């Protein structure tokens, strides 16, 4: 079986050497070389033609983000698997855009590391469980934050229902009949929803509903 050829890139010598030592124990992988920053990594990719680059993100001289961009552009056959830690998760999406195909938490066990290398080498993407977990947590937080910033998310179901009917041209009395409410109750909902959405009249209300896709032309 032909071994997967690797380049290990990390500015911390003890981390870099530790990862290399672990990978040398696997019958599936061969470490061709090590680099301490992105600039060195580019030089060694050109010289050694590895199959997979294990890339740290935050490094001096040239960081992993910039190095990943160059590698994926100039050496598309080389797969970049990012070595990450909790503190640099904010950079994960940038590195995805740069072309990285996987992420391995630095605290992962060696068997998980080899599994990730194997996956990206055959053309798949890979997230170690730790990375997947904090990315999901970030997504949940950002989604909740977006909902909190969106005034529409603050409307009750009844207010949304009345917003849609108002935008469709129904009068207060007609809405009251459709929803089995009093006209006064409908007017109360209307006043509150327009205040929440910072709308001043029916024209603005209709335009807002069209922008949100609540009603169509």
Residue 85: which pLDDT band, with cuts at 50, 70 and 90?
confident
Task: Evaluate if pTM is beyond 0.85.
Answer: no
pLDDT value of residue 177: 93
The domain locations on the chain are 4-142, 151-211
Q: Does domain 151-211 sit in CATH 1.10.10.10?
A: yes
Could you give phi then psi for residue 155, rounded to 5 degrees?
-75, 145
pLDDT at 86 over 70: no
Q: Tokens 């740069």 appear where?
A: 98
Q: Is the pLDDT of residue 87 over 60?
A: no
H helix or E strand, kind and range, residue 30: strand 29-35
Strand partners, 34: 8
CATH of the domain spanning 4-142: 3.40.50.2300
Q: Determine the length of the chain.
A: 217
Q: What is the per-residue pLDDT for 89?
A: 61
Range from 109-123, 148-162, 164-178, 184-198 carrying the lowest mean pLDDT: 148-162
Q: Does residue 104 contact residue 113 with C-beta atoms inside 8 Å?
A: yes
Q: Give the pLDDT confidence score for residue 132 in this predicted structure.
A: 67
Asked if the model's pLDDT at residue 147 lies above 90, the reply is no
If one compares 61 and 109, the residue with the highest pLDDT of the two is: 61
On the question of pLDDT at 38 being above 90, the answer is yes
Q: Say if residues 80 and 56 touch (Cβ distance below 8 Å).
A: no
What is the average pLDDT across 133-151? Answer: 62
| pLDDT computed for residue 7 by the predictor | 98
């Amino acid at each position: 079986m032909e071994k997967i050829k690797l380049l290990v890139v990390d500015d911390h010598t003890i981390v870099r050497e530790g990862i290399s030592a672990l990978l040398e124990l696997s019958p599936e992988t061969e470490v061709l070389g090590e680099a301490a920053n992105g600039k060195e990594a580019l030089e060694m990719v050109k010289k050694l033609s590895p199959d997979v680059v294990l890339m740290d993100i935050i490094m001096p001289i040239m960081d992993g983000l910039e190095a990943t961009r160059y590698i994926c552009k100039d050496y598309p056959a080389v797969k970049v698997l990012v070595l990450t830690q909790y503190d640099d998760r904010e950079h994960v999406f940038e590195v995805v855009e740069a072309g990285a195909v996987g992420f391995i938490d630095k605290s992962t066990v060696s068997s998980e590391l080899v599994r990730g290398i194997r996956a990206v080498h055959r053309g798949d993407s890979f997230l170690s469980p730790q990375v997947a977990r904090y990315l999901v947590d970030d997504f949940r937080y950002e989604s909740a934050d977006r909902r909190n910033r969106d005034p529409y998310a603050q409307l009750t179901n009844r207010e949304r229902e009345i917003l849609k009917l108002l935008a469709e041209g129904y009068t207060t009395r007609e809405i009251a009949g459709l929803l089995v409410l009093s006209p006064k109750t409908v007017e109360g909902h209307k006043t509150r929803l327009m205040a929440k959405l910072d709308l001043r009249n029916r024209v603005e209300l209709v335009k807002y509903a069209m922008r949100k896709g609540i009603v169509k032309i």
